[in-house]
């Protein structure tokens, strides 16, 4: 997965592929990791349901074409992710 890429394909624990829209990516010097926040594209079609945003850490590949997603491991990482998401959503709200 590339920084700035708009869509990624996620494979769930059952081996099902799901196309997701990348909300944003960011790097954390504190944890020396990159993170991606994303949501299933199919969620955009259901206006009644709240879109669930997922987060993973990732390591870009050498050629920056793909990367390996990993689960977020600590509460401290979740705190940073939630803070970044809150800032992102506030900025998006200001543009409306």
What CA–CA distance (Å, rounded) separates 18 from 31?
A: 28
Mean pLDDT confidence for 43-62 = 79
CA dihedral 89, 71, 18, 46 (to 10 degrees): -40
Helix (H) or strand (E) holding 81: helix 75-95
Q: Which residue has the higher pLDDT, 37 or 1?
A: 37
State how far the Cα of 5 lies from the Cα of 21, in Å rounded to an integer: 9
If you average pLDDT over residues 72-81, what whole number do you get?
A: 95
DSSP strands (E only) in the chain: 7-11, 17-28, 33-40, 54-60, 67-70
Residues 56-71: tens digit of each pLDDT: 998 776 765 667 889 9
What mean pLDDT is reported for the chain?
84
* 6-40 pLDDT tens trace: 888 888 789 889 899 999 999 999 999 999 999 99
Q: Give the pLDDT band (50/70/90) at residue 93.
A: confident
Q: 42 pLDDT exceeds 50? A: yes
Kindly state the tokens that stand for 94. Answer: 């200001």
């Amino acid at each position: 997965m590339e920084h700035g890429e708009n869509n990624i394909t996620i494979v769930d624990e059952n081996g099902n592929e799901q196309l997701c829209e990348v909300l944003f990516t960011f790097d954390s010097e504190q944890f020396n990791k990159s993170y991606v926040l994303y949501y299933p594209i199919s969620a955009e079609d259901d206006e009644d349901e709240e879109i669930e945003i997922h987060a993973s850490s990732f390591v870009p590949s050498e050629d920056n074409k793909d990367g390996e997603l990993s689960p977020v491991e600590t509460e401290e990482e979740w705190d940073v992710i939630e803070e970044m998401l809150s800032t992102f959503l506030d900025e998006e709200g200001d543009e409306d």
